[in-house]
Structure 1
C-alpha cells in the first residue's frame, strides 16, 4: 500500500468522524439546552463559592443556597435570563418545567448560563448592604477605618447593637460613631440578611485586606474591593468551567458511542472498506476536499444526510452482512465457527467504541486534522499571495 493510498484512507476516516462529530455536537447541545446543564452548573458553582467550598458545614451550604436564590432574583441577574418566545421554545420550556429541580432553579423555567463578574460583585455587595454600611462610617477618610473592620464585625452587628456592655458594641462605635440614638443605622442593621455564610464573610474580609494597599479613602477602597470580588468570581468560574468541560466530555463520549452504534460506524470495517474499495475511497476523498470548509457554513448541519449519501460512506446497518462475511467463507467445524462469530461480535463492539471515542473528540478537532491531511495530500500548503505591501523575499 503506497503513501497516497494511506493518506486517502486517513482523509476518508477523518471526514467520516467529522460529519458524525457534527451530529453528536448537535445532540449534546439540544440535551444541554433542554436540561439546562450550563445554568444549573453555574448556579451550583456560585453556591459553592459563596459557601466556601463543598467541604464546609451544612449550615453554610444552606445559607449559601438561600443567598444565591436572592441574588438570582435581583434585576441585574434576572434580566440576563432571556427566555425564548417562539412556540416551539415555549413548549420545550413547559416540558422542562415539569422536570426542573426545585432546589437548583427554585421553580423557574430557566436561568442565566453566564453572569458577568461585575454584575455578580455589585449584586452580592448590594445584597449584603455593604455600600449602605459604608455611608454610616464615622470618618470615611480615616485610614484606620477600613473595609476589613466593617466585614469583620458584620456578623456581630445584630447581637452587639443592643448589648452596650460588650466588646463588639465598642468596636461598632469605633467604626460608626455613637449609634445609641441613630435609629436609621439600627434599622439598617436589623434589615441585614440572616443567611450569610461565615465562610463568605471570611473570604470577603481577606479580599478587603488585599484592597487596602495604597488606598487612603474607604470609598476608594470600596472600588478596589469590588474589583477584587470580580477577580475572585472570575477565577472561581474558570475552575467551574473546567469542571463543566470535563463532565461534558464524559457525556460526549456516551453520545459518541451511541451514535456509533445507531449508525453502525465500525472503525475496523471502515478501514477495510476504504483500503479495498477504491471507488468508495475516491468518493469520500473528493467529498472531503470539496466540503472541507462546510463546518463554517450555516447550512452545513442540515446537509448531513446529503453529505453521507453523496460520499457513499460505508456506515449503516445495511453493511452488517459484510461485517459477518468471514462466517460465509469459514470451513472449520462448529466450535471454530462459534469462536469466529464471538470474535467478530467483539471486533464490532470494539470498533464501535473506537469510533465513539473518536467522534467525542469534537468537530473542531477533526476539522483541523482534515485541513492538515488535505495539505499533505496536495503536497504542502498553498503558496503565499504577495501584494504590493508585502513583496516576495529574494
Structure 2
C-alpha cells in the first residue's frame, strides 16, 4: 500500500467534495423538477429551432457584447417563465398538436421534458400536412404548405424547412429523417445549455451547503495536514464508505439525477417527485449520516458558549476550531468548496476511485506508474 501525506490529504478532500456534491445534486434535481427545468430548456431549444428566436439585434450595437446579452437574455427568461409562448405562435401550435400535447406528465407539467426525434418529425409533418383530404397526396400537401407558408413560419425556419424538403427530393420519409437530424443537433446544444445551468445552480447551492454545514476547505486541509490521527480516521472512513458510494452513484444515475455525459434530455426523465421516491430519500439519509461522521472526525463545528467574564453571562456563538478564527479565510474556504461542488459528483466519484486505486498499489508499483 502506497501512502503519504499528500495522498491522504487529497483522499480526505475528494471524499468531502464527493459527499457534498451528491447532496447538492439531489437538492438541485429537486429544484429542477419542482420548476420543470428540463421542459423549460427544451421549450427554449424549440423556440430557437422553430421561431428564429434571436433578439440580440434589439440591443443594437450593445448586442455585440456578451455582458449586455446575458442580462437581456435573463430578462427574457423571466418573461418566458410566465409566458412560454410569447411572440411564438407556431411554437404554441406545435405544443398543442396531439403528438406533443399528451406527452406531459400532468397539468402542472403540461409540457414534456423529453421529445424523441421521431415524435418531433411526426408532429411537424402533421402540422405541415394539415387536413390532407383536399390534396392528392401527403407530399403535395406539404409542398403547398411550404410554398404558401400557410402556418406563418418565421422566415429563416421556413427557408430551412424548404431546403430540407428539397434535399429529401420531396420524399416524406427522407424529409422526416432530415428534420430528425436537425432536431438532434439542436438537442445537443440544449444539453450544453442545461449543463451550464446545472453548474450555476450547483455553485449557488454549493455555497449555501458549505455555509450551512461549515465545509471549509482551507480549515479541512490544514487539519488533515497537521493532525495525523484525524488524517488516519478520515482515510479509514473513506475506505469503509467508498465501496457503498458505487451503489449510491448508480442509484442516482438510474434516477437521472447525475449524468456522466451530456444527455440531459432522455426518455426516462418522467419520474415521481423526490419526496415520493423512497430510494432517493434513502440516499439522502445515508449522505446526511456520512456528513455527520466526517464532521465528527474533523472536529469542525459551530457552537454556543457562555462567557462569564466581568460577572455577566453572555452567550457567544461561532466557530469552535482554532483554524477557523479568521472570518475571511472561512469565507474563502466555503467558496473553494462551492467551486469544487459545481464540478459535479461524477467527477469526484471517478477521481476518488483513481486515488484509492493508486493508494492501494504497492510502493514500487505506485512510484513506477504515476499516471494510474
- Tell me the TM-score normalized by structure 1: 0.66
For the Cα contact (< 8 Å) 2:225–2:231, is it kept in 1?
Answer: yes
Aligned CA distance change for structure 1 residues 73 and 322 (closer, same or farther; 3 Å): same
What per-residue deviation string (whole Å, max 9, x for no partner) do you get for residues 344-387 of structure 1? 22211111111110111111111111111111111169x9xxxx
Q: Does the CA contact (< 8 Å) of 2:211 and 2:334 recur in 1? A: yes
CA distance in structure 2 between the aligned counterparts of 1:287 and 1:43, rounded to whole angstroms: 45
Partner residue, 1:363: 345
Q: 1:26 to 1:257 in 2, by over 3 A?
A: same
Does residue 207 of structure 1 match 2:164?
Answer: yes
Aligned pairs (5 A) from 1:90-169: 109-129=109-129, 132=132, 135-136=135-136, 150=144, 153-155=147-149
Aligned to 1:36: 36
2:8 is aligned with 1:23? no
User: Where in structure 2 are there 5+ consecutive unaligned residues?
Assistant: 59-83, 252-281, 304-317, 366-372
The partner residue of 1:75 within 81, 98, 105 is 98
Say which structure, 1 or 2, has more relative contact order (CA 8 Å, 6+ apart): 2
The alignment status of 1:239 with 2:189, answered yes or no, reads: yes
Q: CA RMSD in A?
A: 3.2
| Range with greater deviation from structure 2 (297-306 or 62-71) | 62-71
CA contact (8 A) 2:94 2:100 kept: yes
Alignment: residue pair count:
289
SS at structure 1 position matched to 2:193: helix
**Cα offset, 1:22, TM superposition:** 0.7
Q: Which residue of 1 aligns with 2:355?
A: 373
Query: Residue in 1 aligned with 2:308?
Result: none
Matched ranges for 1:1-394 at <5 A: 4-55=4-55, 65-83=88-106, 109-129=109-129, 132=132, 135-136=135-136, 150=144, 153-155=147-149, 192-193=150-151, 195-212=152-169, 218=170, 221-295=171-245, 296-297=247-248, 298=251, 299-311=282-294, 312-314=296-298, 315-318=300-303, 320-323=319-322, 344-379=326-361
Instruction: Tell me how far apart the structure 1 counterparts of residues 359 and 187 of structure 2 sit (CA, whole Å).
Output: 42
Offset, 1:3? 5.5
Cα 1:57–1:305 shift into 2, 3 Å: closer
Question: Residue 103 of structure 2: SS of its match in structure 1?
Answer: coil
Structure 2 CA distance for partners of 1:30 and 1:13, relative to 1, 3 Å: same
Pick which of 196-205 and 360-369 moved more.
196-205
Write the deviation string for residues 145-164 of structure 1: whole angstroms up to 9, x where unpaired: 997x6455223xxxxxxxxx
Instruction: Give me the TM-score of the superposition, normalised by structure 2.
Output: 0.69
Quote the Cα distance in structure 2 between the aligned partners of 1:20 and 1:121. 41
Q: Distance in 2 between matches of 1:358 and 1:79?
A: 40
Are 1:265 and 1:351, in contact at CA under 8 Å, matched by a contact in 2?
yes
Residues 9 and 281 in structure 1, CA contact (< 8 A), matched pair in contact too: yes
Report how far residue 241 of structure 1 moved. 1.4
SS of the residue aligned with 2:95? helix
